[in-house]
């Protein structure tokens, strides 16, 4: 059962997340997210509901390489389609990092506008726990439940993959714009995981069949992505979007 946090826990939770998070969410939504974190405790993961629209899913888990790919596979495996996502990482103290990942989803097995339920959240949690324990292959889950992730024959992904300058002048944010398809977020997150980078923050939007994703990434040791590695990442991401494509635009 969800465990409502104390005001002190909620304040500490909010302060441990980026200012962009605190500026975006009202107090009642922060409490909902903090409740999931409080309920998780030291368990590998917990999943809860949030928001008045009836489509908010909050996943709180021990941070680890490849976590977003595992979460994406869990959502696809539970027939939940992602229209918006935000990925955050917070410091719990003592060197412990916790992922707070927020998703707006819809149940593909229910009529449009149907609110997701506690049962949906529990299915995602159970599926994600199995993937974290290595009891199932995430790609197998995506391919089995969401259908093949390739584009239909004859269709181009019409993709743009580029790095853009962050406020400090570095090149740490990867932007991806392409045609939406089943399993796309899993494919992108998997490609980044295979490139041995950390996703520090991310925002995913789907608008009228087009995906607009931003990933703030660093090397595993926290350092900036090198120019050579940026090109490798672009190639890997484009290959994940459309396996036949092997060229990328020059870095801006």
State pLDDT tens for residues 124-138: 999 999 999 999 999
**Average pLDDT over every residue of 140-153:** 63
* H/E element, 212: strand 210-219
Burial of 164: CB neighbours in 10 Å, binned 0-12, 13-18, 19+: exposed
pLDDT at 35 over 60: yes
Cα 185 from Cα 183, distance rounded (Å): 6
Q: For the whole prediction, is pTM greater than 0.95?
A: no
* H/E element, 215: strand 210-219
- Check residue 222 and report its DSSP letter: S
pLDDT at 248 over 50: no
Q: Residue 149 has what pLDDT?
A: 43
Residue 168: which pLDDT band, with cuts at 50, 70 and 90? Answer: low
Percent of all residues in the chain with a pLDDT value above 90, rounded to a whole number: 69
Cα 249 from Cα 252, distance rounded (Å): 8
**Average pLDDT over every residue of 222-239:** 92
Q: Residue 183 has what pLDDT?
A: 87
* H/E element, 183: none
Q: Residue 148 has what pLDDT?
A: 45
**CA 217 to mean position of chain CA atoms:** 13
Both tokens of 179, joined, read 């045609």
Q: Residue 145 has what pLDDT?
A: 67
Sign of CA dihedral 129, 124, 45, 60: positive
3-state secondary structure 88-137: EEEEEECCEEEEEEEEEEEECCCCCCCCCCHHHHHHHHHHHHHHHCCCCC
pLDDT at 45 over 90: yes
- Mean pLDDT over each residue of the chain, to the nearest integer: 88
């Amino acid at each position: 059962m969800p465990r409502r946090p104390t005001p002190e826990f909620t304040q500490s939770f909010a302060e441990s997340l980026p200012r962009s998070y605190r500026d975006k969410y009202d107090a009642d939504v922060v409490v909902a997210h903090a409740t999931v974190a409080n309920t998780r405790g030291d368990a590998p993961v917990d999943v809860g509901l949030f928001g008045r629209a009836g489509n908010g899913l909050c996943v709180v888990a021990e941070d680890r390489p490849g976590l977003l790919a595992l979460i994406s596979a869990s959502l696809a495996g539970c027939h939940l389609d992602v229209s918006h996502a935000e990925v955050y990482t917070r410091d719990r103290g003592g060197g412990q990092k916790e992922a707070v990942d927020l998703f707006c989803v819809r149940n593909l097995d229910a009529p449009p506008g149907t609110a997701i339920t506690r049962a949906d959240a529990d299915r995602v949690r159970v599926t994600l726990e199995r993937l974290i324990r290595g009891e199932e292959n995430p790609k197998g889950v995506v391919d089995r439940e969401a259908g093949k992730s390739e584009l239909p024959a004859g269709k181009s992904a019409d993709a743009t993959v580029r790095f853009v300058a962050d406020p400090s002048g570095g090149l740490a944010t990867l932007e991806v714009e392409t045609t939406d398809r089943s399993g796309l977020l899993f494919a992108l997150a998997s490609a980044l995981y295979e490139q041995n980078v950390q996703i520090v923050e991310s925002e995913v939007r789907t608008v009228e069949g087009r995906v607009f994703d931003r990933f703030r990434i660093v090397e595993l040791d926290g350092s900036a992505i090198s120019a050579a590695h940026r090109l490798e990442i672009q190639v890997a991401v484009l290959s994940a979007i459309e396996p036949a494509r092997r060229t990328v635009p020059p870095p801006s």
